[in-house]
Structure 1
Amino acid sequence: MKYVSYLFILGTILSARGEEVTDYEMCKNSKCTISNVNVDPCPQALKGEHCEFVRGTNVTFSANYITSFGTVKPITKVYIEVGGVEITDPSLPTDACLFTSCPIQNGKQNSYKRTILVSPKYPSGNHNFKIKIYDGTKKFKRDECCVQSNVKII
């Protein structure tokens, strides 16, 4: 019985991580490397398919990253790209320190984890989903870390 309880607890812990997504890519001009991208829920990742996000529900995104820049004031934004236009929900917090350790240091591994409400206003269909972390101290030519993946919003 102890063994069964242990397996149940272990399974619960592992499933809380979400599914590892392998169909992500770095955005153009991204100045970082990213590994261990997990999205919860995303059972489609087990089959190598794009995640399906249900409008009005929460999705948790986590990843490890190493930037080639540092910043004491990192900003983060989440985007859905529709017809080449990046759409963000202005109600989402942008202080990256809420989701990662700060300050962000050049060449040091860090983790990012945040839960996002999939806005009911997002259009259904296949879209590019992006998460960016950038240096909030610069107005132009910002250094940024950006990862993207195709998702289906339903």
Structure 2
Amino acid sequence: CVVHEVRIDPCPEALENQPCKIRLGANYSMSFDYTPTFSATRVSSQAAKVSTLVDIPFEEMDINGCKYTTCPIEANKKQVFNYALEVGTQFPAATHQVKWKLWNADDHHQQCCFKCSLQLIN
């Protein structure tokens, strides 16, 4: 899978190639353009905080990826994923590495993923 571009709005820090400053408890929009190497009728999606031992998923997320991208997804066809990001208050204010993953709900080995840094602020 190729992730072409990731957009978080608002994020003026992106112009300076810096982590987005995300206010805890606020709402943002996140979207990305991707070209999967696989086809799938059902897709799942989840964001997680990258940790040294185990990634910590954002539990409040709805993992039904078809709500945020066109399903079925087709191999080698560029698509867009759009998500309304509601930032909970369970994470401490700090800079976090976040992994976002989109996968075939029937074969978890078929997936698209990317990592980005987010600076959570009060």
TM-score using structure 2 length: 0.91
Structure 2 counterpart of 1:85, one-letter code: V
* 2:88 equivalent among 106, 114, 119: 119
**Conservation of the 8 A alpha-carbon contact between 2:50 and 2:56:** yes
Distance 1:99 1:61 in 2: 10
What is the aligned residue count?
Answer: 121
**Greater RCO, CA 8 A, separation 6+:** 2
**Structure-to-structure mapping, 1:73-92, within 5 angstroms:** 73-92=42-61
CA RMSD of aligned residues (A): 1.4
**Structure-to-structure mapping, 1:73-152, within 5 angstroms:** 73-138=42-107, 142-152=109-119
Determine which structure has the larger helix proportion and give its number: 1
The answer to whether the aligner puts 1:72 opposite 2:41 as a matched pair is yes
Highest CA radius of gyration, 1 or 2? 1
Determine which structure has the larger strand proportion and give its number: 2
Deviation digits for residues 49-99 of structure 1 (CA, Å, limit 9, x no counterpart): 111111111121111110111111100001122345311222211110100
For structure 2, list consecutive stretches of 5 or more residues without a partner in the other structure. Answer: none
For structure 1, list consecutive stretches of 5 or more residues without a partner in the other structure. Answer: 1-31
Change (3 A) 1:82 1:58: farther
Distance 2:74 2:40 in 1: 7
**Conservation of the 8 A alpha-carbon contact between 2:37 and 2:75:** yes
Distance 1:61 1:33 in 2: 17
Distance 2:112 2:90 in 1: 26
Distance 1:57 1:116 in 2: 8
Q: Percent identity?
A: 25
TM-score using structure 1 length: 0.73
